[in-house]
Amino acid sequence: MTSTHTKARRAGFAAFVGTTIEWYDFYVYATAAALVFGPLFFPSGDRLAETAAAFATFAVAFLVRPLGGIIFGHIGDKLGRRTSLVITLLLMGAATVLVGCLPTYENIGILAPILLILLRAVQGLAVGGEWGGAVLMSVEHAPEKSKTFYGGFTQLGNPAGALLASGIFAIMSRVGDDFIMNGGWRIPFLLSIVLVGVGFWVRYRVEETPVFEAKVEGRKQSMPLAYALRTNWRPILLGIGILPISTGGYYLATTFATAYATGDTIAISEQVILDAMTIASFVEFVVTLPIAWLGDKWGRKNVMYIGLITSVLTFVPFMLVMPGRVEPLIFLFASLVRIAMSATYAPIAALLAQMFRPQSRYTSIALSYGVGAAIWAGFSPWFATQLIAWTGSIWSVLAMFAGMAIIAGICTKLAPQHSDEAPVTGSFTARTDTTANRLP
């Protein structure tokens, strides 16, 4: 018989592979939005206006993520986590490949940005259902005392996907200044078809989670969404409030920072900032699982608090060193801020999953994360760009970042934590987890 830890490792690896592919697709779009989508799909002659328009399409995916959470949360709570995750993977891959095939504004006019927005919406639907399901696949397979660590495998997919996306663009930037703009940007999108094939094979081989298989009550719910809103509305709201730095802050430190650094005012070369982001993604990849492990040892909430404080303390100098164009400092703080944010992201999988009881858990976590990402991540790069235009100062963005960290800290403090007990008469019960917020 396969041991619990073996099943947990297998589920964790499948969650890692799947989310790596999903986030790769997502970050390929984000990087292209920061570098080339403005002039290619929204030409106006004004670099700032073009970038803002590209970031607006970036936000579209976040607006539809709650809908994706509802749709795939329903499938995951009724038919199983694995079924939902296979569908989201295929949907994301198809949308990404089609973006790589799109004609630009120069070729088909206004139809080009319309198609781009539609495909970005499909990406949003897919990732809206992906993250919650991948989290539950890893956390629900994990032993009680190791949930944060195994949940970290899901979170590991984020820096891995970012590393692949920024790495490919960094390599292409070395070919020549015009290569990316003149069609090279399509290559990372088209490569997604290979990754999706690998991810489908890995994910389809994983067993359904024991929590879902034993949870008879959840299957009897005709409408998991109604059940979630009736019983979980308070933790759903708290979950949304936990996410400002884990989601929005992350895109400020990556997508917005890339556009800010390469814009007309500072004009750092694309190669420099892409190299810095690639190294930072690698550093984040290395530290994510150790930080998740600390979440089980120190308490996942305590790790979150540390991450929120250090994120502010590293993001501020990261933005302030940009105008000086001192490359070693840019590389250093790009990595330091990602390490700090890992402490807000690595524990999120277990923290959010254990805020909800098993019944309608997929719908609840997907809705919480989807709405939170729509609010915080979807508009952060765009709003930060507007703040720069309105105030002419990066300090307005830094003040916004600090405010987001305060909100996240308060909601983390108030968040409930539950533990899944052994199944009794075909169902899982829940008890309060007293270890989430204390030192061992």
Is 438 part of a structural domain of the chain? no
Determine the Cα–Cα distance for residues 254 and 380; give it in Å rounded to an integer. 11
Range with the lowest mean pLDDT among 140-149, 209-218, 252-261, 414-423? 209-218
Is 266 part of a structural domain of the chain? yes
User: Bridge partners of 424?
Assistant: 427
Range with the lowest mean pLDDT among 120-124, 183-187, 407-411, 421-425? 421-425
- 437 within 8 A of 299, measured Cβ to Cβ: yes
Q: For residue 26, give the CATH number of its domain.
A: 1.20.1250.20
Range ranked top by mean pLDDT from 57-61, 107-111, 317-321:
317-321
pLDDT tier, 307 (very low <50, low <70, confident <90, very high otherwise): very high
Is 440 part of a structural domain of the chain? no
DSSP secondary structure letter of residue 265 = T
Mean pLDDT for 114-131 is 88
How many structural domains does the chain have? 1
Query: Would the pLDDT of 225 be above 90?
Result: no
Domain that holds residue 326: 4-211+219-432
Is 255 part of a structural domain of the chain? yes
Non-local (6+) Cβ contacts of 185 within 8 A are 32, 35, 36, 40, 172
Range with the lowest mean pLDDT among 141-155, 388-402, 403-417? 141-155
By percentage, how much of the chain surpasses pLDDT 90?
Answer: 32
Helix (H) / strand (E) containing 419: strand 418-420
pLDDT tier, 409 (very low <50, low <70, confident <90, very high otherwise): very high
Assign 3-class secondary structure to 344-356.
HHCCHHHHHHCCC
Is 345 part of a structural domain of the chain? yes
Assign 3-class secondary structure to 196-226.
HHHHHHHHHCCCCCHHHHHCHHHHHCCCHHH
Q: Summarize pLDDT for 17-55 with one digit per residue, the tens.
A: 888 887 888 788 878 887 888 888 888 777 777 777 777
User: What local confidence, expressed as pLDDT, does residue 396 receive?
Assistant: 95
Is 437 part of a structural domain of the chain? no
Is 206 part of a structural domain of the chain? yes
Determine the Cα–Cα distance for residues 212 and 435; give it in Å rounded to an integer. 24
Range with the lowest mean pLDDT among 201-205, 358-362, 407-411? 201-205
- Between residues 292 and 137, the one the model is more confident about: 292
Query: Would the pLDDT of 433 be above 50?
Result: no
User: What local confidence, expressed as pLDDT, does residue 300 receive?
Assistant: 95
- Between residues 295 and 373, the one the model is more confident about: 295
Q: Is 393 exposed, middle or buried (0-12, 13-18, 19+ CB in 10 A)?
A: exposed
> Is residue 299 left, alpha or beta, with left meaning phi > 0 and alpha meaning psi from -120 to 50?
left
pLDDT tier, 422 (very low <50, low <70, confident <90, very high otherwise): low
Q: Summarize pLDDT for 345-355 with one digit per residue, the tens.
A: 999 999 999 99
Is 439 part of a structural domain of the chain? no
Interhelix angle 361-372/224-231, rounded to 10 degrees, is 70
What's the number of CA atoms in the CB half-sphere (13 Å) around residue 367? 26
pLDDT tier, 177 (very low <50, low <70, confident <90, very high otherwise): low
Q: Summarize pLDDT for 237-276 with one digit per residue, the tens.
A: 999 999 999 999 998 998 899 888 888 778 888 888 888 9
Tokens representing 71 are 């749709």
